[in-house]
Chains A and B, each alone.
Chain A
Amino acid sequence: MLKGHLDMIVLAALAAGPAHGYAVIERIRHKSGQAFDLPEGTIYPALHRLEQAALLSSRWVTAESGRRRRVYALTRAGERALAERRAVWQQFSDAIGGLLQGARPRRKPA
């Protein structure tokens, strides 16, 4: 289930600012309250795929340790894609919430 939302999760993790792969995983763990403990290797193909779709950009930087690392950042298109996915998710979440509580959803889900 989580894999189907991996793109949105990665985009959301990068909304806070540019980060390298390890930091993206740490952000996902931290922001989800340790609920999302993804297999770490799955993040990198997703980062490459989103970069290929021009939703992310990346560049090599030299860290304080002297190591070269690839840092990813949201592009304008990535910000727009994240906003769209947030809106769809909110509608879906409202609808499911309404159903589970026995109330009518506020809006029609997409």
Chain B
Amino acid sequence: MIHDYLDTLARALSFDPSLSQRVRREVEDHLLDAVAADPARDRREAERQAVAHFGEPHAIAAEFARVAVARQARSLAAAIVVMVFVVFIAMKARVAWYAATQWTMAEDMRPAAKIVLLVDRYAFWTAVILAIAGFAYMVGRRVVPASHRARAGHLRHVSLLCAIAAAALAVSVVSDGLLTAFQLRGALSWAESLIPISSMALEVACIGVLAWQIRAIARRAACARALENRCSL
């Protein structure tokens, strides 16, 4: 009976294998303690009691899922700050390379580059401000509220800040890509283009990491909602 219960709980948390494994081991330990402490001589009855006292597995899994979503949101808020910094360093490295090699942009590309540069600046600083705001909000509210309503509001605020910051950073990276393409037009050799292309690859990788994290949060949030809906039926 305990194994069936543990299987159900672990399956409900299968969206996060490490969490699922940890919860399974902890709950198994708990249930075995409860059975050992039960004065009833009938082991099957003791197991039934232990499982009944522990609670409905999907309701408990829903609680764990909400905690997992909050943890992922926290790591996303920190990741965005780091990625903004990495993108900034990559941009500066590229500009420094152009200056060191006295590499100037072709005349016919300059009017378009001016507009793209403006978009790039606004998008980047929007990303900086929102990333810092999202991180500060997470740090300021270290304990995720216990009540479902307060927690939903908290996660909504963090998710919104993170999503807009990530979108702004993506716009900035796309603009950087265009500017780099303008600059590289007429480049003499691969060796000359190595630093600009590598720095652009780094920026794109940063956006890829953020996209992966946002996808993981969306997946966990969907699992948490599905578990909640199942419990409320």
Contacts and interface: CB of A to CB of B under 8 A. Distances in A.
Contacts of B74: 52
A67 B144 CA distance: 31
B225 interface: no
Interface string B145-172: 0110000000000000000000000000
Given A39-B55, A52-B67, A44 B27 contact: yes
B71 A52 contact: yes
Given A4-B146, A50-B143, A39 B54 contact: yes
Contacts of A46: 146
A49 interface: yes
B110 interface: no
Contact of B34 (A6, A22, A49, A77): A22
Interface string A1-41: 00110110000000000001110000000000000000111
Interface size class of A (residues with CB under 8 A): 20 to 34
Interface stretch (B18-26, B91-99, B184-192): B18-26
B60 A42 contact: yes
B41 interface: no
A105 B65 CA distance: 42
Contacts of B57: 41
Interface of B: 22-23, 25-27, 29-30, 32-34, 53-57, 59-60, 63-64, 66-67, 70-71, 74, 142-144, 146-147
